[in-house]
Amino acid sequence: MRWNKLTIETTTQAEDMLSWELNEMGISGVEIEDHVPLTEEERKIMYVDLLPDEIAPDDGKALISCYVEESEDLQTVIAKIKNKLEELSAYLPVGSGRITLDITEEEDWINNWKVFFKPFRLDDNIVIKPTWETLTDKKDDDIVVEIDPGTAFGSGSHETTKLCISQLKKYVTPETEILDVGTGSGILSIIGLKLGAGFAMATDIDPNAIRATEENFEINGVADGQAVVQRVNILDPEEGKAFYERNGGRKYDVVVANILADVIIPLSALVTPLMKETGVFITSGIINTMEEEVKEAMLENHFEIIEINHMKDWVSITAKPVK
């Protein structure tokens, strides 16, 4: 299968917001190239193969590449991107905004990015290791998660994933049953299980995500009966009802949703029947400009907000049902 590769010339200041806008448009496979140096903290938690003299100086410029199916109306997609650039330019420097086009085969863009995906630490004892890499710096108490994201989003390096993981570490016990909504590559379910949770239900609407999660469960030695992967759109009333009945009315101690604000808002109105009275709802993927809307939706849907955390432009909100 052939894909159109669009590359946008922009700035490091705009790269996070523009990437988010592309995801909102339904464009997957976003890649960012810039020369922003790693912070001292990032150097401590990541495995870095580049030497300082191999890194070009930060010039404030960034390239964002994304992939669009050949069958899609390319001119319409480009027009939408240009509109978003114009909107962002009202409050952010977006650079030249020049868009260039290339054609690539599916196997190329799926596999070429692997060169840049190296093992890294999420915190002191959780390490994400690509299946094709060798781990050379393992501590005795490390929790190592083997991941091959495939075409499904979710390597764990993104701030939104890190925010979710920090909350899972607070609430997971051996009795915990997790519902992972929008599982991506299954990383949150796998980490929840490795932290000691008793069961994980991983759901997604993307067949690529379902396939990637099943493969990653197998790679990480998830035992039969310890986790289940199901393709379902919980926001669809009929699908949600069928999911609930199919699983015997099971309720969960932790519901984790690392998606987008526009999904979390309606989800907050539907998720309570899937939660135990003492359960917690951990959300992330919320861009900071949508924080207030998500908070309002949770309060309107009878949640008490326990904690709000920020990382760069992203927000995580943890809440519990009001009894």
Lowest mean pLDDT of 117-131, 191-205, 282-296, name the range: 117-131
Q: What percent of the chain has pLDDT over 90?
A: 49
CATH number for the domain formed by residue range(s) 153-321: 3.40.50.150
Closest to 124 (Cα-Cα) out of 49, 183, 41: 41
Phi and psi dihedrals of 42, rounded to 5? -65, -35
pLDDT at 254: 98
**Amino acid, res. 234:** I
Average pLDDT over residues 208-227: 90
pLDDT at 137: 76
Domain boundaries, the chain: 2-114, 153-321
Question: Using CA atoms, how far apart are residues 87 and 159, in angstroms rounded to an integer?
Answer: 24
pLDDT per residue as tens digits for the range 65-94: 888 878 888 899 999 999 999 989 988 899
DSSP for 207-258, please give it: HHHHHHHHHHHHHTTPPBTTEEEEE--TTSHHHHHHHHHHTTT--EEEEEEE
pLDDT band at 24 (very low <50, low <70, confident <90, very high): confident
Architecture (CATH level 2) of domain 2-114: 2-Layer Sandwich (3.30)
As a residue count, the chain comes to 323
